[in-house]
Structure 1
């Protein structure tokens, strides 16, 4: 059971200011000396990076931003994953996704902020973009209050308020709704972050500027919000009857596949990081370590070789297309990655990792592990997917089901190898990705907390490599 005070920051729609408010609150409360646990509803990696920075203040990362995705992990894991991340904290702030009631397309409330708020028994603060309305704000808020009585909206924060008079009109209108106004933030160009083709520019690419931005957000929120009122609302959340998720228990206490323990010792599993590969969930490395691996990070933009003793490689998502010249120029590392893959050692690659293993990216040589070429396009591929493993691989046995998320503007030719990684079954049927020796490479982002056997299989294979 956890009694951590908690708030969910939601909005009527995307673009209302959720990230501004949530990140600012995380930073402002952290500056007060509170241990703040940052969370994000949905699959977004980039916002979680800003959350991590907001609660660490530029110092050592003690509490990484964590994602709560009820589609990929299932609603039943939301409370345990939350409790795991928030353990020992004074406050948890959960940033929502899209509009409060928006979730997986065509599947009701699944994966919506509202669903996660109900599972966490957490009060919701609704961030409303008030830039083009006055009394109509009451109708808008009233609709959100009444749509689902099981969602507790405990307060409103007005964003992009134009003047003192504008704020006065908005507050008067909301008195009729009976929901307290816990903040009013003026329009400001000084609290934005740069964006590009997949959203905000990740923290890893602009750490100094991002740190300054989170501090500016803290000041912006501190000046316009009732922090004491928000903290009191968070403390009104009832105890949550959920045991914290445990990565050791999730993998069964150590590396084994089919009941056969892996070779003794802790195999080194190298995990790509740095500015080009910023997309990962904290639970993945926790599961790898719990399964018996020694997890070592490296930066493909800076390191000319894999960590000593590497027996397995994980290359997650990110922006290799932005760094294609630098990645291509690192010949020694590309050769080392290719040699590891050809040796039969396990390699798990998602999205950016898939592109890095390809023969080329936008005409520049990559690792050449896969007989495929990648290029940027103007078309965004985005959405949840249900998939089935086509055959046995380093992370899944044939027939295993998984849920994941695609998010990219690149295409790969061919899209799938002779032995595909996944057969997508929803929303469309197609094969995707590559399985070759120990390599499992795909565009599909998955959350290993939902499939902890992936870590067990991967580490067991690395131990035998």
Structure 2
């Protein structure tokens, strides 16, 4: 059913990475939540870490909006689904405002998303090391694409009152509203490592303090009333909100019948990468979704009939994961029995024989190790053969993001044939009910994956 969505919304963007988008977006989410508003948090692109901070700031799931992984046609419906019942939506952009998938124009850029959502953009500008030049910079971003509405600027890393005065004068001359000024401060800093910020699940007490500091910084330096008025100026959206049951029906999946199988989903500090829509699709397909923590739980959830192990940082916790031998044995036994197991990136490493010399589950005869090389980017791929997630020939857009190397990189029955970018290659493993790959795929674009996994899951009372 198509409905008119009247939700105030803002897109937080920047000229480049490192300008302070995460601080501003998360701080705005927390500050408006502190005012008693229900805030819906969103993140452009495939980032899994920032949404964890967004969820902490708002008390709602952080949701990704990615035109490359899901297609441009799902941007509005997924936004409408996530923002249902909210008073305000804040969308954190990715990289620079006009940066998107390499070599594919505006695809997956913050600008494309802002246009799809008809949302005003708040441009976060690093004011350090410049004064009057800030006007030329902002003018260029505001005039590059007339369909992108720059509603104002938040100046970050401003050094002094005099520095602020110079920046404000320049932007006033350019006719651009200054909606906030943030001084240089370490209070809201969040630690990073080899793949970006440290996830919330690994540092929750410190993360709570960091989010509180971001909120205070925003309250002290930004005109929240002006930002609220800007958000309310966004026109209504006419969208059919994405619905997991409807998505399954649209994929030709019959409604679930019979007992609900338990699908165990790995979580905890080592496996923090997931999309909220995956669990919603599994539930709509008839599963009982039960989380577990491979760092702490020595048993899989009772009656587990299928397993989903997403991305994360197993390399950071390899000794602890290895030490949990009882759970590793249960995972191996479940896979050997033919139960469906879907593993992405970190999950792939966990199923391997070893990771940096530490024994893992041994489901796959492969060894993984950390390297200095970052593998990053969108991939177009096709299913090489039938698997628990997709029939042969299924085409997907996925994303790789890791610093590990697996030997061998593909099994006798690979998961995917990567067709772009670069020369064609195969990667991943299909082995019995196991589908393991480096490729992250958003199931909103492939809802049948959830249905196929649940259909193969062992149901309560059935012999495995």
User: Which residue of the partner structure matches residue 440 of structure 2?
Assistant: 445
User: Which residue of the partner structure matches residue 59 of structure 1?
Assistant: none
Structure 2 runs not aligned, ≥5 long: none
3-state secondary structure, aligned to 1:445 = coil
Moved more, 129-138 or 244-253: 244-253
In structure 2, C-alpha distance between the alignment counterparts of 1:4 and 1:426, rounded to whole Å: 38
3-state secondary structure, aligned to 2:332 = helix
In structure 2, C-alpha distance between the alignment counterparts of 1:177 and 1:243, rounded to whole Å: 39
In structure 1, C-alpha distance between the alignment counterparts of 2:258 and 2:294, rounded to whole Å: 29
Shift of 1:264: 1.4
Is the counterpart of residue 196 in structure 1 residue 199 in structure 2? Answer: no
Query: Residue 339 of structure 1 is aligned with which of 333, 338, 341?
Result: 333
In structure 2, C-alpha distance between the alignment counterparts of 1:397 and 1:262, rounded to whole Å: 20
Q: How does 1:1-400 map to 2 (within 5 A)?
A: 1-56=4-59, 63-252=60-249, 264-400=258-394
Shift of 1:263: 6.1
In structure 1, C-alpha distance between the alignment counterparts of 2:289 and 2:71, rounded to whole Å: 27
Q: 8 Å contact 1:389–1:398 — kept in the other structure?
A: yes
3-state secondary structure, aligned to 2:46 = coil
TM value normalised by structure 1: 0.97
User: Which residue of the partner structure matches residue 426 of structure 2?
Assistant: 431
Structure 1 runs not aligned, ≥5 long: 57-62
What count of residue pairs does the alignment treat as equivalent?
Answer: 456
1:81-104 Cα offsets, whole Å, 9 max, x none, are 000000010000000000000000
Q: 8 Å contact 2:304–2:458 — kept in the other structure?
A: no
RMSD (Å), alpha carbons? 1.2
In structure 2, C-alpha distance between the alignment counterparts of 1:166 and 1:349, rounded to whole Å: 51
In structure 1, C-alpha distance between the alignment counterparts of 2:212 and 2:175, rounded to whole Å: 32
3-state secondary structure, aligned to 2:188 = coil
3-state secondary structure, aligned to 2:99 = coil
Alpha carbons of 1:343 and 1:262: their partners in 2 closer, same or farther (altered >3 Å)?
Answer: farther
Shift of 1:176: 2.1
TM value normalised by structure 2: 0.97
1:240-283 Cα offsets, whole Å, 9 max, x none, are 111110001111199x86x6x76611000000000000000000
User: Which residue of the partner structure matches residue 60 of structure 1?
Assistant: none
Q: 8 Å contact 1:262–1:463 — kept in the other structure?
A: no
Moved more, 376-385 or 244-253: 244-253
1:20-65 Cα offsets, whole Å, 9 max, x none, are 1000000000011000000000000000000000112xxxxxx200
1:180-205 Cα offsets, whole Å, 9 max, x none, are 10000000111110110000000000
Q: 8 Å contact 2:375–2:400 — kept in the other structure?
A: yes
Shift of 1:159: 0.3
3-state secondary structure, aligned to 2:239 = coil
